[in-house]
Each structure stands twice: as structure tokens, then as C-alpha cells.
Structure 1
Amino acid sequence: MKNYQLKRLFDQPILQTIDVKPAIDGFEVLGAFNPATCLLGDEVIMLLRVAEAPLAREGYLSIPLIEEKDGIPTLTVRHFKEPEGDYDPRVVTIDGKQYLTSLSHLRLARSRDGIHFDIDDKPFLFPARMDESFGIEDARITFLDNQYWITYTAVSEHGPAVGLARTTDFTTVERLGLILPPPNKDVALFPKQINGKYVMLHRPMVSEIGKPSVWMAESEDGVNWGNHRFLFGGRGLADTRFAWEGAKIGAGPEPLLTDEGWLVCYHGADATHAYALALALLDKDDPTQVLDRSAGPLLTPDLPWEQEGFFPNVVFSNGWIQWPAQSAHPNKIWVYYGAADSGVGLAELIHI
């Protein structure tokens, strides 16, 4: 992939956590990041991951989650004494049970120029099922069969799973529930059927054996998936030149069809949990064939706002757009990326 570069369009984020209002009374926004993006007419649509938490009480952790009350999933807040010593600011274990310290949802934002966004005050998708009880995270959007398919990570006490929703207008939305059980995430749907089948990239989360890698699956209807196959994994275990993706990798936004094949943006993490962005190229007729991959990362967390935040040293993309020929930015590919779980950056993918 020597013929591609990722160039930041700005050395500052185009959107920050402080730009987003809390959707829940008595909560604060801890992070606004990792947006899915698409074009709807002449607008850029963004589904932003917004992490909110109750305002802090000294000496206590206030954990937001969805719990069943009279059979109805309901937002609740549970209060625990703050653990002694250092602890992960995102995930805590209390009385042997893990909790997330914030609750994420998807917030809609719109833009005419792809740079300046108007952000809705209320969620577009908010956790509403028990398999979403710890939040909804990191969506991807694919335009397929004349509608927009939204895949997202649905988190609960049982782990991260993959949910699916569909919309035609980003005003009304149909939830279809889970399409992959835990533990799985990073699902990107191809924007057309291949050999009569819907195709997805996904990332099972392994434990004692193996590393989190990119897999592929097929479906007759886009809801029920099978024929799961390993596609590619991180190369850092075999070659230290690839340490930047040695810990884990995962697919980013929906693949783009080019003259050379299917272009896949993916993230890689190293042993220190620093995230970088890279590309892979798949055969256009048989995407199980990996034709090429980046020899090195195309974007790394080099700027202060990419290095410092709720989760430091992260650039993570799950949204890009290809501007149409008749637009202000003809045929350009813009890559939107989350930075340190605290804001959104914008880069251009350049074919050289």
C-alpha cells in the first residue's frame, strides 16, 4: 500500500468533548469520539459515540447502566465507594463484577461542508435492551439496498456483542437486535452483495490462544450470518517491524470499492495500547484474498490531542466518506477518526 498516504487536514480536532451537551440531566459528557459517517444527499451525517456519566460524588463511583424494572429496561445509577489505589478509569471491578464507568450512546450530527457540524442535543440511538445495558459504542454506517445499515457494539455484563439498525432518513430507525453474540465487535458491512451474498468484516475477541484479528462472514439476508473465516491478523508477533499492530487489529469503516480492489481501513494496537491506522486491499471479486497491506502505519497519535485524553495515544477510525464528482471536494476520501477517546480529527486519504 505504498501508493496511499493519510494526511491530516487540520492540526486541531474538528470536534471536541466540550462541543457536546449531556443528554441526561445530572450527567456530564466524558468523551465524544469514534464517529461513523456517511453522505445523505448533500449532507455529511455523523453518528458520534458520546460517553456520559453522572456528576462525580466525592469518594464514590456512580455507575450508569440499564436495569430491568417491572420488565422494562430502564436507566439507573448505582453508587459504590471508590476503590482504593489506582484503577482503570473506564472499567472497574466491584465485588467481583465488572462495570463501565460511563454509558455510551450514538448522537447524530450534520454538516454541509464535512468540517463544521451541528450536533443534536438528544441521542439518535440510546441503550434500550438488556444486551445494551452497558452502552452502545463505535458504529459503522453502510449504504446498502437503498437504506443505511448501522452496526454497533452493544455492551452488557456478558461482554461486547454486535447490534444492527437500519434507516432511510436518519429520522426514524429500525432496531434489529444482535447479529453476533459476545465477544465480538468492529463489524463493517460491504456496500454491495458479492456473489449473491451480504458480506461483513468482524473481529472476534480471543483469550488464551490467538490475537484479535479481522474475520469475514456471509449472509443471505444481512441479519443471519455464517461461513466465518479468518482474513488477516497483526504481524507484530512474527516481525518487530510490525509491533505497531502486534497486540490486536480490527476493521474500521465500510470497505470502499476502487479500481484496484476493496480498500479496507483498519486499526492496529501495540503492546502499550497505542492505536494507529493502516490499509489493506482485498480482491474485488473474492474479498477473502488479501492483495496488499500497509508496511507501516499511515497515521499515528503524534499530536497532543491525540496523545492526551480519556484513553491516551489513540487514533481510531470507523467513518470515512468519498465525496462525489459533483461536489466541493470531488472524489476526495475524507477519514474521520477518534483521538484519545476525547475528540474527532479529520484526514484525507491520498492516492499517489
Structure 2
Amino acid sequence: MKNYTLRRLSDQPIIRTADVRPSMPGFQVLGAFNPAACRFNDEIILLLRVAEGPAAGHIEPGWLHIPVLEETDGVPQLVVKRFREPITPYDPRVVTLEGTVYLTSISHLRVARSRDGIHFQIDPKPFLFPARADEAFGIEDARITFLEGTYWITYTAVSAHGPAVGLAKTTDFVHVERVGLVLPPPNKDVVLFPERINGKYQMLHRPMVSEIGKPSVWLAESLDGVHWGNHQFVFGPSTHSWESMKIGAGPEPLQTPDGWLVCYHGSDPTHRYGLGLALLDLDTPSRVLYRTAAPLLTPELDWERNGFFPNVVFSNGWVPQPNGSVLVYYGAADSGVGVCALEWR
């Protein structure tokens, strides 16, 4: 088995929160992170998760201002709900108010473009913004798979009913077609394989279990890419501390002579996230051939350890290069984007 390593190409983020413009007046960008990635023509495309909330001048002290999508006469529109701030400490991302769980920000997907894979121009407007009741709390953490001539985009659609899995498609990263939900809540971390296997589409997904079991990677198959079944457990958290609490698949699996190479994230009991690799059988991807025992990347630099949600490196986008290497893009502390080179010998 090859010896894989992840080598940072910069000790600074290549995209910072401050690099992204708010999508609307009166809002501020709270984080730009966890990008999907692909090659499109002669560019590298990132689909950034951009988290936003009301700007400082629109916030009253002692109150929480929660952006959500609500329907009025059947028309969805963004509103800002106002609640007394809890006295007790709370998660900066998720808070329970008046018996309902809310996200403290609302996310959308934004395109960033680069010729060299390092320096990116970020589109001023969203590529995919929440527009349905099942996206009322936001659109998060996309993955891109080029499949049968089209870029398939899976993403987490969040609402009061929980995180579900949405699917969209594009051929030009200008126009986008929403297909709709393909998996109900609670589920996330969905990525499609780049070709049919045994005549069927394949996906990795991560059901969010509760009392029994831990969040793990599962496989599903489909004849049309919309209706999914034959769900099978693939692998879950291990006894290694860095991935002992939960795991989830990252970018699209890469086909290698040895098998399907899968990048995945794991978290430890302190909610510290690292990145590892797994190798799945080419013909039977439910069969695990190899897993890294130690993480290939952990939060070490200041901007990876400190941010909106600290101690996180999280990848859902990578791009093979003509020279055989792979650029791996990762979100850091829910606040910025870094890049590594995947290397092996």
C-alpha cells in the first residue's frame, strides 16, 4: 500500500472570510470555508460555503438575530428573527430558542475561480442560495462530481426538520438546476462516485444516528441518480482517538489502480477534526481495503485552531493535477480555506 502524505502549500489561508463580499445589504460574512472543488475548462472552481448574518450595525446588544427563510403566501423570503440572548454559554453555530433549534447564520454556495489553484477570484453573488422550505436554515458543504458530462452537486439542505441532502446540476457554473432532496433528514456528507459501478450510480452518505451507533460512512445505489436504495454500512469511527466520535466522506472518490481513494474527516471527543484516507474496492465499493491509522492533517496552525468553530480541518474538495498530484482544499476553523498537496511513494 502506498504511503500517503498531505503537505500544506501555504502556511496562510488562500481564502479568508474578509475576501468575500456579503450577498445583501445589512449582512456580514461570518465564514467562508469547506469548498467543493473541480476542474472546469482551464480553471479550478471552488464552491465555497459562505455563512452570513446581520451586520454589527443591525444587531441590538443582548439579542440574537437569526436569519431564516420563511414562506409568505407561498413565496419564500429571508427574514431575521429576534430573540433574547441566552444567559448560559451556547454553541456559536447552533442554539435552542423558545423550544426550536436554530442556526446562528445562514449559508449559501459561492463560486471562486482560479487559473493556478492558489489565487482565486470570488464571484460577488451567490451561485446557489436557499430558496425552498427544506433549505430554510441554509445550504452547506457541497461536493462536486463530474458525471456523464454534467457537474452533479450534492449539498446539505438544513431546516427545522434537520439536515437533508439536496442535489443540483450545472454544465457551466453560471446556470444551475435544482433537482431537489435525494435523502431525507438526518443525513449529510454525501458524495457521488464519478462513474456507474455495475450499471448503477453510487453514493457515500452519512446518516446521523442517535442513541445506538456512531455517525459512519454508508453506501447507496441508484438507477436514476435521484431515488436511492440498497444502503450498506461501509466504515465507521475506529478506536483511534482522532476519529473515535464520528466520520464522514469528503470529496468525490478518485479511481486509482489500487481502488477508490476516499478522503474523509474524523473527530475526537473534544470535537477536533482531522483528515484521513480510505481505499475501497473498485468493483465492490462497500469493501474497505485500507484505512489510515493516523490523521494526515490536523489543526496545527493558528488559523486552523482559532476561528468561528475552532480546531477543524475539513475537506470536501480535491482536484487531480496533470502531473499526477492532487490539490486538496480544506476549510479551517469554519473561517477560511487552505490547500495541501496529496503525495505518495
Would you say same fold, with TM above 0.5? yes
Tell me what 1:129 maps to: 132
Tell me what 1:231 maps to: 234
The yes-or-no answer on 1:138 pairing with 2:141 is yes
In the alignment, the residues of structure 1 paired with residue 287 and residue 103 of structure 2 have an alpha-carbon distance, to the nearest angstrom, of 38
Counting aligned pairs with the same residue, the percent is 70
Residues 54-93 of structure 1: pairs in structure 2 closer than 5 A: 54-55=54-55, 56-93=59-96
> Once superposed, what is the RMSD of the aligned Cα atoms?
0.8
In the alignment, the residues of structure 2 paired with residue 284 and residue 59 of structure 1 have an alpha-carbon distance, to the nearest angstrom, of 55
Q: In the TM superposition, what is the alpha-carbon distance from 1:2 to its structure 2 partner?
A: 5.6
The yes-or-no answer on 1:98 pairing with 2:96 is no
Of the three residues 339, 342, 345, the one matched with 2:338 is 345
Gaps of 5+ in 1: 237-241, 325-329
Tell me what 2:224 maps to: 221
Of the three residues 260, 263, 285, the one matched with 2:261 is 263
SS at match of 1:11: coil
Query: What letter is aligned with 2:340?
Result: A
Q: In the TM superposition, what is the alpha-carbon distance from 1:42 to its structure 2 partner?
A: 0.7
Q: Is the 8 A contact 1:319 1:336 kept in 2?
A: yes
Tell me what 1:35 maps to: 35
Tell me what 1:239 maps to: none
In the alignment, the residues of structure 2 paired with residue 263 and residue 66 of structure 1 have an alpha-carbon distance, to the nearest angstrom, of 37
Query: What letter is aligned with 2:128?
Result: L
Q: In the TM superposition, what is the alpha-carbon distance from 1:318 to its structure 2 partner?
A: 0.1
The yes-or-no answer on 1:118 pairing with 2:121 is yes
Moved more, 100-109 or 87-96: 87-96
Q: Is the 8 A contact 1:276 1:298 kept in 2?
A: yes
Deviations 1:275-302 (CA, angstroms, capped at 9, x unpaired): 0000000111111110000011000001
Q: In the TM superposition, what is the alpha-carbon distance from 1:85 to its structure 2 partner?
A: 2.7
Q: Is the 8 A contact 2:2 2:344 kept in 1?
A: no
In the alignment, the residues of structure 2 paired with residue 16 and residue 151 of structure 1 have an alpha-carbon distance, to the nearest angstrom, of 24
Tell me what 2:11 maps to: 11
Of the three residues 177, 181, 186, the one matched with 1:183 is 186
In the alignment, the residues of structure 1 paired with residue 207 and residue 24 of structure 2 have an alpha-carbon distance, to the nearest angstrom, of 32
Gaps of 5+ in 2: none
Tell me what 1:49 maps to: 49
SS at match of 2:311: coil
The yes-or-no answer on 1:332 pairing with 2:325 is yes
Q: In the TM superposition, what is the alpha-carbon distance from 1:57 to its structure 2 partner?
A: 2.1
Q: Is the 8 A contact 2:216 2:237 kept in 1?
A: yes
Q: Is the 8 A contact 1:2 1:294 kept in 2?
A: no
SS at match of 2:76: strand
In the alignment, the residues of structure 1 paired with residue 102 and residue 284 of structure 2 have an alpha-carbon distance, to the nearest angstrom, of 41
In the alignment, the residues of structure 1 paired with residue 237 and residue 309 of structure 2 have an alpha-carbon distance, to the nearest angstrom, of 21
Deviations 1:120-170 (CA, angstroms, capped at 9, x unpaired): 111000000000000000000000010000000000000000000001011
In the alignment, the residues of structure 1 paired with residue 327 and residue 120 of structure 2 have an alpha-carbon distance, to the nearest angstrom, of 15
Aligned length: 342
Residues 269-288 of structure 1: pairs in structure 2 closer than 5 A: 269-288=267-286
Of the three residues 306, 309, 323, the one matched with 1:308 is 306
Tell me what 1:327 maps to: none
In the alignment, the residues of structure 2 paired with residue 93 and residue 123 of structure 1 have an alpha-carbon distance, to the nearest angstrom, of 28
Query: What letter is aligned with 2:193?
Result: F
